[in-house]
Structures are given as C-alpha cells and as structure tokens.
C-alpha cells in the first residue's frame, strides 16, 4: 500500500486529503485507513503539483468529518 495523505478538512460532503508528495493515486482509487477499512474513492486531484489535494467521496456509512486527521492509504 502507498500513503495517499492526511485528511485536512471536509468540503461539500467530501474529505480533502493533502498528498505528502507529487505522486497521487489515480481517479477512482480506493482509499483505506490504517485498519485497512475502506473509507472512499478519489474523485478529483487539485492544487499545487508539488503537494496536491485529493477530493475523496466517502463510502456508505463513513462520515467525512470523522476522518479529520486520519492518514489514508491507496489500496
């Protein structure tokens, strides 16, 4: 698994993840938390090329606000 980044905020029902480097997962990539529970999928990449942000649509039953501060990983 590869680290996708940390959830830094929520916006419009999406979790916003700050990528640790310029490498980002592809759109549609499933993201998991440290317990390997699926939390959502990448729906957009935006921001600076050096450290982009990922917009993550949460899975059913996952509340984006509960993910604040969580480190997420690409499956």
Domains of the chain: 2-74 (2.40.10.230)
How far apart CA 17 and CA 71 sit, in angstroms, is: 9
Q: Please indicate, yes or no, whether the overall pTM of this predicted structure exceeds 0.75.
A: yes
- Alpha-carbon gap, residue 73 to 29, rounded angstroms: 10
Q: What is the pLDDT of residues 12-52, one digit of tens each?
A: 999 999 999 878 999 999 999 999 999 999 999 999 999 99
């Amino acid at each position: 698994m590869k680290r996708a980044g940390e959830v830094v905020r929520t916006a419009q029902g999406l979790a916003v993840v700050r990528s640790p480097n310029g490498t980002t997962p592809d759109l549609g990539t499933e993201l998991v938390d440290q317990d390997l529970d699926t939390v959502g999928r990448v729906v957009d990449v935006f921001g600076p090329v050096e450290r982009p942000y990922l917009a993550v649509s949460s899975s059913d039953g996952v509340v984006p606000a509960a993910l604040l501060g969580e480190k997420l990983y690409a499956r």
